[in-house]
Chain A
Amino acid sequence: MTLTALAITAMIKVIVIISVALLGVAYSTYLERRLLGILQHRIGPIYAGPYGLLQPIADAVKLIFKEDFIPDNVERVTYTLAPVIMFIPALLTFAVIPVGDTITIMGHEIELVISDLNIGILYVFAITSLGVYGIVLAGWSSGSKYSLLGGIRSSAQMISYEIAYGLSIIGVVLLAGTLSLQELVAQQESFFSWYVFRQPVAFILFVVCAVAETNRAPFDLPEAEAELVAGYLTEYSSMKYAMFFMGEYANMLAVSSVATTIFLGGWQGPFLPPVLWFVIKVFLCMCVYIWIRATLPRFRYDQLMNFGWKVLFPLALLNTMVTALIKVL
């Protein structure tokens, strides 16, 4: 392929992935509200369109027409930057996720991944570590006590769980011997070679840390409305608020995609086309997220920090060392 052809395919892939990701974000909110409704014996949104399917669009239109008032005590530049910094890293994760097998269109072989980096897993880990800045900046720049408290609490929570998050992936890397996500998927061709079976402890650690990293229930302390109003979101309104909201759901989708790729065989699966398998697995991961939210009560902050440092972290270290030991023997 010539350079221009490469550039054009890259461009098309980027546009498609971003559009699908945004659509996914919009309908994750719908999924969450419907599923929560079912789990709590309610109905959920049903009036906007058939089965309430137009609800995300209605929400978006509502938020974009809302007045965006900026309190006087706000640090304007940082305040505007914060939602962007929350959203962009979440989106950037999708750049390395392989969504399907290589396909052939008009004689060109096209890999269904935007860029298969040698260091794919590390890239994901690094991008995840940037997410904390959105929260820190929002908390600091809002000039409100609730925001600041929520921001610093939440960032301390995120960094505490990030270590175990990284360590849980190490177990898989030890077995795989590669950091490329494409190769990782290729290694999980048969059902029982999925890393969820070969590294079950790592998978559980990954799930727990992923929920904490995305600030979701039962780790949603930054938004603990009973004590902190809305945490770092307190002073945000209109599109900036929507950007945080989208960031949260994009993060959930990104983490689900990463979990699918690393532990659940990626796009591998029988009968159905690979892309569909990928979507189904990500969808199931999202459902688990919502299920957890509907089931578990919120942690107390001291419990949360204790759990991160005194349980998850030692366990993750132990898992890594035991995996290495088994591999040597």
Chain B
Amino acid sequence: MEMVANFISDVSANPLFYLLAFVTIASALCVVTLKNIFHSALCLILTLFSVAGLYILLHAEFLAVAQVLIYVGAVSILLIFAIMLTSQLASRKIVQSNEQVTVAIFVCFLFLLVSIGSLFNTYWNGINAPLPDNNILTIGILLMTDYVLPFEVVSIVMLAALIGAIVLAREERS
């Protein structure tokens, strides 16, 4: 409990944190409220970008760059391509809520409870210890030793995604 308090006071001393947190939340709200789906996608990019900023505040440089490269630079492009390729979507106004809005709010609330629960149950010890100066080196070594199995599994997951997409695309054409 004390660790959580320490950690929060440490980060909250930085005014940039509030700015980034505000941008993250505001743009995330725009994602689910804007009427134009392309604008929603752009706001999502801003959200992902400010999360990268938060990573930098936490001294997780590699994570921040990976966030920009993978989420901002690649996944969002995929998303935008999907919107652009669906001609019906591009110019039409969309309604973001439907009759299941109450269920959605309930599920979101549940998720919030789980998040808060895990926040207080996590062992935060060591969070105040400084990260190694060159943390990409440490990540590289750990990836090849302790976490080699998850690392290899990642490639299989991505292969499955790729083959799935190819099969879908081919079905559509024939």
Give the B-binding residues of A (Cβ under 8 A): 75, 77-78, 117-119, 122-123, 125-126, 129-130, 132-133, 136-137, 140, 148, 152, 155, 159, 162, 179
Contact = CB atoms under 8 A, between A and B. Distances in A.
A125 B69 contact: yes
Given A117-B61, A119-B61, A179 B136 contact: yes
Given A122-B136, A132-B77, A155-B81, 13 more contacts: A78-B38, A119-B65, A122-B69, A123-B65, A125-B69, A126-B68, A129-B72, A129-B74, A132-B73, A136-B77, A136-B84, A140-B38, A140-B84
A42 B90 CA distance: 46
Contacts of A162: 73
B84 A152 contact: yes
B38 A126 contact: no
B133 interface: yes
B42 A118 contact: no
A144 to B, nearest CB: 13
Q: Please classify how large the interface on chain B is, using the bins under 10, 10 to 19, 20 to 34, 35 or more.
A: 20 to 34
Given A78-B42, A129-B73, A155-B77, A118 B134 contact: yes
B10 to A, nearest CB: 19
B80 interface: yes
B27 to A, nearest CB: 14
21 contacts: A78-B38, A78-B39, A117-B61, A118-B61, A118-B133, A118-B135, A118-B136, A122-B62, A125-B69, A126-B68, A126-B69, A129-B74, A130-B68, A130-B72, A133-B45, A136-B77, A136-B84, A140-B84, A152-B81, A152-B84, A179-B136
Nearest to A132: B77
Nearest to B38: A140
Interface string B132-145: 01111000000000
- The interface centre, meaning the residue of B45, B65, B81 with most chain A CB atoms within 10 A of its CB, is B65
Nearest to B78: A159
Contacts of A75: 38
Contacts of B62: 119, 122
A123 B42 CA distance: 22
A132 B72 CA distance: 11
Contacts of A152: 81, 84
Nearest to A180: B134
Contacts of A179: 136
Nearest to B135: A118
Contact of B90 (A125, A137, A140): A140
B108 to A, nearest CB: 28
Contacts of B68: 126, 129-130
A119 B69 contact: no
A125 B66 CA distance: 10
